[in-house]
Amino acid sequence: MKMDNKIALVTGAALGYKNGGPSIGSATAFKLASEGAKVVVVDILEEMGRRTVDKIREKGGEGLFVRADVSKTDEVRKAVEVTKQNFGKLHCLVNCAASYEGDIFRNVVDIPETDWNHIIDVNLNGYFRFTKYAIPLILESGGGTIVNISSGAAFNVLKNFCVYPVTKAAINSLTRTIAIDFAPQIRCNAICPGFVRIANSEGNRTQDEIKKWIANIAKTYPLKRVCTVEEIANVALFLACDDSSYINGQCIIVDGGRYISDTHEF
């Protein structure tokens, strides 16, 4: 299997909050586990984080839940320590945790500074912290891979949605600097998804409303459907394992061709 004898840590890997629905982090954890990795599942959501591990175990895999807030240095360091205590090594870090809390659908004038700072601290600094404290263990383990879940928002921007794209553009830069500074022992790449259907963004919509909402978004994509969490997890596995052995410092757009398509019609 592609991740045999490998230890992976995935942040933001709880299942979706409502009913254990899809999330990119949990799908990635399942995928890595299905290929033989022992997976450390990190999240602030205990119940749904444990459910990810339960599902890994149900399928015969090995996993461990560690509750850690990526915005807290001591918790991040502890998660890395717990990984070492339990598995001895770490070969793959997938940074995926992100917050959408606060009044963030605002332009730079209107966004409250506390909300700006919160998103920077979780969505960008969380990736920095985990990378900073995981790299020594990855090096000690003989090297490995880092996969950063970025976003198409690093390249194009929605109106009045300023801070999230800033974190994702910065994550792409972070990805490239890690790729250069820690090669050849560590390869670091990013995935930039377009819209991916997850449980947490469905909010309080009814099933009917969700269907219409997704159908409207799908129309704007050349493939005429939205991405599934498994389609992102497949790319995460590819970047995590030796199948991508000569790919380093890349930010791969996984959006069914939307970014390169033009809405202009002749």
Active-site annotation holds for 259:
no
Q: Closer to ligand NAD at the Cβ: 47 or 242? A: 47
**Which listed residue (100, 127, 133, 164) is catalytic?**
164
Pairwise CA distance, residues 193 & 191, whole Å? 6
Whose CB is nearest to ligand NAD? 12
User: Of the two residues 16 and 63, which places its CB atom closer to ligand NAD in the complex?
Assistant: 16
Specify the DSSP element, H or E, that contains 92.
strand 92-95
CB of residue 265 to ligand NAD, shortest distance in Å:
26
Q: CB-wise, 139 or 252, nearer to ligand NAD?
A: 252
Q: How far is the CB of 11 from ligand NAD (least distance, A)?
A: 6
The torsion defined by the Cα of 70, 71, 77 and 78, in degrees rounded to 10, comes to: -70
CA nearest 42: which of 76, 84, 86, 71?
76
Least Å from the CB of residue 230 to ligand NAD: 12
* 19 or 245: CB nearest ligand NAD: 19
List the one residue out of 116, 114, 79 whose CA is nearest residue 95. Answer: 79
Q: Are the CB atoms for 193 and 251 separated by under 8 Å? A: no
DSSP 178-228: HHHHTTTTEEEEEEEES-B--GGGSTT--HHHHHHHHHHHHHTSTTSSPBP
Q: How far is the CB of 250 from ligand NAD (least distance, A)?
A: 16
Residues in contact with ligand NAD by the rule CB under 6 A: 11-12, 14, 16, 23-25, 43-45, 69-71, 96-99, 122, 149, 151, 193, 195-196, 198, 200
- What is the distance between the alpha carbons of residues 27 and 236, in angstroms, rounded to a whole number? 10
* Catalytic residue list: 164
